Amino acid sequence: MNEQTLSPNRSGLVVGPLRADFGGQVLTAEDGEAYNGARMAFNAMFDRRPAVIARATCTADVVHALGFARATGLPVAVRGGGHSVAGYSTIEGGLLLDLGPMKAIDVDPEARLVRVQPGVVWGELDRATQQHGLATTGGRMTTTGVAGFTLGSGSGWLERLYGSACDNLLSAEVVTAAGTVVTASESENPDLLWGLRGGGGNFGIVTEFTLRLHPVGPGAYGGLLMYPRSQAPEVLRHVRDFLQSAPREVCGGVLCMFAPPAPFVPPALQGAPIVTVLAAYWGDVETGADALAPLKRLPPAVDLMGPTTYLDIQAITDPGNPPGRRNYWRSELLPDAPDELLDAFIACAAEATSPASTLILGRLGGAFGDVPEDATALGGRAAQWLFHCYAVWTKGDDRRHIAWARATEEALLPWTMTGMALNFMNDIDDTRVRATFGPEKYQRLRDLKRRWDPDNVFAMNQNIPPGS
């Protein structure tokens, strides 16, 4: 170990002990552009400067970096894909444990299982599983990390047919706060597996996920229909009625957004407020065409719905969600979607403060509701709909955009129910965490936290403090 390794960096932190026996890259502010690139997160609202970034390549690296953090008293943030809208995948002045280099994917097509490391994002996993005509419920953006998405809930296009991502989590390799490596499965530490299914990163660092796969694709039928915003009342009611009676092979929802300046959009509609219908059918393409045909009874201004692939549907929202924008999200579950809710939804959408912002009404039910309420930490199983309010902007007054998202949530609150996954919102305090899980689940999660992380080492998350 040379003198430079032993000397402190600008923060006064001696990183030599971290670099020793660490197989990945260790970065501090002295590493300039490499450090700046590695510290950036999806949500530009969180421009934080970690004291050190450790880019792990294996489970042993994770154990070593965690031990270094505990020995030096550094707070820890764990990053998989870096998509945490609440900023949990970055940290000011602590250790950012970046699992991005851990990219192994092992598909077992006969058993319909996949083992995947936490640095994998959904586009990478989808491409690997689709080689075998298989998939599991994944993120609606291909750049979303498998790890945080699965641990936080995992709401995706396949949830009505195959449940949430956490429902498909069969086992996990976990590095605990004590630095030990354990397995969580139905036969080994089943309570820990229960907590990982929706309880977030509170109980350890998952270094390998085993997920159930299902026959999906490669062909599918689906896509987008676009209408002028003036047709919103008619479109929302039509789609609501269609989705309420559609089979669980159909997924979909409605987005109040602004039309992109794309060649497939008529010039008069580009940049204008529109209503977009997004729907897909998971099964035979010809059957899908028949199943979704009723949606087109309202003639759209733009028709991008037809034969496609599972991979294309998974990537359909990517162009509208690039990294580096400022994001503030509020989301809730809905037991029903009455006309009064739809009218309030349209009124809120009309007040959007940025052309990049979107208000979404999505269909739940199906397999999502088949899971017993107490079977996983994730709840809200009786919900039939959800809404996402995504305030997204690049510059200007943050307060104005945040105020719109909060006002939208407040206006739609009379029609909501508890249980919304915490992955889909900013400003998560203890009151919100308690309300999401309910008193019985919350106490069970606190008991788990006390067993697996009594010192609350893993606090950079939708935090559940250890029980007393």
pLDDT at 10: 61
Please report the pLDDT score of residue 11 as a whole number: 66
How does the average pLDDT of the chain come out, rounded?
95
Tokens matching residue 437? 């899980």
Write the CB contacts of 36 (distance below 8 Å, at least 6 apart in sequence): none
Tell me the CA distances in angstroms from 67 to 17, 18, 73, 76, one per residue in order.
Answer: 10, 9, 10, 11
Nearest to 195 by CA among 449, 454, 457, 468: 449
| pLDDT at residue 1, as a whole number | 38
Strand, coil or helix: 241: helix
> Which pLDDT does position 12 carry in this prediction?
77
pLDDT score for 2: 40
User: Cβ(413)–Cβ(442) under 8 Å?
Assistant: no
With tokens 């109040």, the residue in question is 256
Domains of the chain: 3-98 (3.30.43.10), 105-215 (3.30.465.10), 219-424 (3.40.462.20)
Low-confidence stretches of the chain (pLDDT < 70) are: 1-8, 10-11
**Model pTM?**
0.95
Cis peptide before 218 (omega within 30 of 0): yes
CB atoms inside a 10 Å sphere around CB 415: 20
State the amino acid at position 72 in one-letter form: T
Task: Please state, in angstroms and rounded to a whole number, the distance separating the CA atoms of residues 177 and 266.
Answer: 55
Give CA–CA dist 336/288, Å, rounded: 25
By C-alpha distance, which of 23, 63, 24, 31 is closest to 50? Answer: 31
Instruction: Give me the DSSP letters along 153-184.
Output: ----TTHHHH--TGGGEEEEEEE-TTS-EEEE
**Residues composing the chain:** 468
